[in-house]
Structure 1
């Protein structure tokens, strides 16, 4: 490729695809490999892609004596949108299979990035409420707890959307969400309504944790992108701290009003495992819907989410602690999602993120906050347990991908430069000869 205009078009397409993947939670390894595959396919044999979480840069120089071409894009919008992610994944496949030329690929990419969704906003709000209700059922709540948890989840979704329009940093949106949920729980506890408010708060914490970049952060750390991994982990920690600050503020208000909503030791009882598994299935599917997942993936996501929750609950009941069952359930998710994603024609990341959401450690975080508020420093151990569960979920899912990919014949042809499991993008770099 010698035409300067064509070179710039190719670099621009590769960058736009990488930006879309990165903004939707894909790991830096996936972004780099996908952008490299596109550039290589169109004749740019040694393009260099640099990913630094907020910036994507691609550079191409044909030889030492030639002019170097470099383009940069800033990733400013971070919203989980599995529909866009899936459409870009299909476009990359079409490019590498020569079903579209360069100009058509750029046109399609522009349409994907600029086209809205047909799903109305109220449906997304309702699905957030269904997610909250499903998580409440998973934690052992009754129908009244489910209703209040659904109201809390919908209120959090509306509140965070309004704050996002004001362009406030996401940290403050997390603080507001945690404060709203805990204040609602305090209000419920102050009445004679027979509800365990700790379950409402725990459910809301899981709702606030959903969609954070746990998977991408751990994937980057494991696949040799320490700079991006550090930035993602810092973002996750800051967002989680926002939840803790907001919930702590609500608990403090409750304490000043004389309302005690300490954790009920029986809140996570496992006596109704079938119902709890159903709650996990509903929560996973509803979250996938709220993240604009393709409709064909919703039922399989519910099945995988329910099965993973069943594994987690059975192992938890056997006394293995919380981190080990979470890791085993996540490995199952990674194994199944890799095969299932090919049949559903969606990136594995869509299935992995949605099915891990019900297993996020909301109850552990709330237990830690309650203990620390009572000046019981065993709450530090509970917080460490929550961190261990989150890391086990992310690392376990990626390990499942590591195990699953070599089991397929196509995976044996992976390009040597691809490091780690692929959660989105082509499984191997296909070049145009």
Structure 2
């Protein structure tokens, strides 16, 4: 085909399709005159009719008849109803994805989807949550049957039935307490009928795109203060705390470097624990330059503080919650990832021991480095400050930090109160009581302030993590000094962590039952303040 030749163009009837071709010359304004209107009308009158390209079907074909107008209106209402249902389900799925990505547990995600859909007029929604996906299924026949008082629509009843099945896969997560708190409060405003769906969608988009409260430089400061506080809290000296400060600068930059390569969490945990262990053993060895200058530190206390920061406690507690709330697949996935991260920590310690032996440094006598615990006031202050820094490192705001400190104090009060009352050493019963107190306090604050309980009890439980026991046991096992004692110590540490998670879950269960049984959900704001904050009326589905 030559450049000047043109392909034959099929003319489309303008009765069915608008013209989309641009004019060849400049468009000049035209002025309609009575003569031109008459010629146009005459042309239409004498021209032959064009066949319709797309025939009209169904009710639309007879919509102008008197007995078809009602059916046509009813059809439009059903289409509008289905579109509105789909929009509500899509919004609920995006809300669930946001909660899951910011660290909410499966039970809260399930309850949020059902509550939000019910608020906007969609009932009997089924939610299926796995480790990385959320599925929402809805069939309209259940709502139709419920309106008649039964559960199975009889054949030929004429009830309109339609179904929707939505799936969303979540492959990334980041603990963001500020965003998670804002999401929970948005859900409460929705369920209290204070906000329309359109406005809720806009606010959810703002929550998902807003910047985090703290920059990477500020987060580094929080992590360094956390390392110092935990080192002092587990019984380390001020020299050990100073070493932890500089060691965790190296840990931070090494983990940031690993994050640029997109390494899985196993390698990130191995790298972090390896760096902490290597530098702690290097500085604390009797052959090091620091020791010869009189700068004596206890490596186990430095490593213990590091393990408290690296242990996947949040995921473990969330896995226990999912297992007890009836989400076995989600819990299994989280347990597998938690086990892999814990294995990565042990692998990092093993690699650090191998590297330090290449420099012919003196081996560590673990039994001799077990010092007496610090004064009680120093232990309490160190753990409280460390808990506050944990909440800050996970993007918690000012109120979250203060309340996390109160939860930590309450848990330590129960933990040490049992020790002083019974005169026995702190054991598993003390851990269980302290965890129950922390979980109950976090759940109460969550109900009271319309916030997730996890942002309070996760930082508040840090004082019970057995970081020193894990390092001592891993060292004894990997160095071959006493394999039986090492395995026994790791088993005891794992049991302590599991009891810690179980106590927290039981505390939240207890408070949830008491609140639902006696008080309902206590709100921080009065109804008048809530109406002034969100004056939007309740949203109803079309046709209701």
Same fold (TM over 0.5): yes
After the TM superposition, which residues 226-245 of structure 1 pair with which residues of structure 2 at under 5 Å, given as runs? 226-245=328-347
Deviations 1:39-58 (A, max 9, x none): 11111112111100100111
2:246 alignment partner in structure 1: 151
Deviations 1:202-228 (A, max 9, x none): 111111015540111001111111111
Work out whether 1:109 is the aligned partner of 2:109. no
Between stretches 349-358 and 4-13, larger displacement belongs to 4-13
Q: CA RMSD, aligned part only?
A: 2.4
Q: Using the TM superposition, give the Cα deviation of residue 128 of structure 1 relative to its aligned residue in structure 2, in angstroms.
A: 0.8
Between stretches 343-352 and 317-326, larger displacement belongs to 317-326
Please tell me whether the aligned partners of residues 164 and 170 of structure 1 are also in contact (alpha carbons under 8 angstroms).
no
Residues 266 and 185 of structure 1, relative CA distance in 2, 3 Å threshold = closer
Between stretches 345-354 and 205-214, larger displacement belongs to 205-214
Please tell me whether the aligned partners of residues 49 and 56 of structure 1 are also in contact (alpha carbons under 8 angstroms).
yes
Deviations 1:135-169 (A, max 9, x none): 11110112121122233334333332332232111
Q: Using the TM superposition, give the Cα deviation of residue 263 of structure 1 relative to its aligned residue in structure 2, in angstroms.
A: 2.9
What is the CA–CA distance in structure 1 between the aligned matches of 2:332 and 2:312, rounded to whole Å?
20
After the TM superposition, which residues 165-176 of structure 1 pair with which residues of structure 2 at under 5 Å, given as runs? 165-176=260-271
1:421 alignment partner in structure 2: none
2:102 alignment partner in structure 1: 24
After the TM superposition, which residues 17-416 of structure 1 pair with which residues of structure 2 at under 5 Å, given as runs? 17-63=95-141, 66-189=161-284, 190=288, 191-192=290-291, 193-209=295-311, 212-256=314-358, 257-264=360-367, 267=370, 269-313=372-416, 315=418, 318-320=423-425, 322-375=427-480, 376=482, 377-408=484-515
1:8 alignment partner in structure 2: 86
What is the CA–CA distance in structure 1 between the aligned matches of 2:228 and 2:317, rounded to whole Å?
24
Please tell me whether the aligned partners of residues 233 and 380 of structure 2 are also in contact (alpha carbons under 8 angstroms).
yes
What is the CA–CA distance in structure 2 between the aligned matches of 1:232 and 1:398, rounded to whole Å?
16
Residues 220 and 268 of structure 1, relative CA distance in 2, 3 Å threshold = farther
How many aligned residue pairs are there? 418
Larger RCO (CA under 8 A, 6+ residues apart): 1
Please tell me whether the aligned partners of residues 234 and 374 of structure 2 are also in contact (alpha carbons under 8 angstroms).
no
Please tell me whether the aligned partners of residues 40 and 431 of structure 1 are also in contact (alpha carbons under 8 angstroms).
no
Residues 149 and 210 of structure 1, relative CA distance in 2, 3 Å threshold = farther
SS in 2 for 1:59: strand
SS in 1 for 2:141: coil
Provide structure 2 residue ranges, at least 5 long, that are not aligned to the other structure: 1-77, 143-159, 522-537
Residues 165 and 23 of structure 1, relative CA distance in 2, 3 Å threshold = same
Between stretches 52-61 and 305-314, larger displacement belongs to 305-314
Provide structure 1 residue ranges, at least 5 long, that are not aligned to the other structure: 415-429
What is the CA–CA distance in structure 1 between the aligned matches of 2:362 and 2:496, rounded to whole Å?
30
What is the CA–CA distance in structure 2 between the aligned matches of 1:182 and 1:60, rounded to whole Å?
52
What is the CA–CA distance in structure 1 between the aligned matches of 2:258 and 2:475, rounded to whole Å?
27
What is the CA–CA distance in structure 2 between the aligned matches of 1:164 and 1:242, rounded to whole Å?
15
Please tell me whether the aligned partners of residues 184 and 450 of structure 2 are also in contact (alpha carbons under 8 angstroms).
no
Indicate the structure (1 or 2) with the bigger Cα radius of gyration. 2
What is the CA–CA distance in structure 1 between the aligned matches of 2:276 and 2:374, rounded to whole Å?
27
Please tell me whether the aligned partners of residues 138 and 278 of structure 1 are also in contact (alpha carbons under 8 angstroms).
yes
What is the CA–CA distance in structure 1 between the aligned matches of 2:257 and 2:418, rounded to whole Å?
40
SS in 2 for 1:312: helix
Q: Using the TM superposition, give the Cα deviation of residue 344 of structure 1 relative to its aligned residue in structure 2, in angstroms.
A: 4.7
What is the CA–CA distance in structure 2 between the aligned matches of 1:305 and 1:388, rounded to whole Å?
21
SS in 2 for 1:147: helix
SS in 2 for 1:34: helix
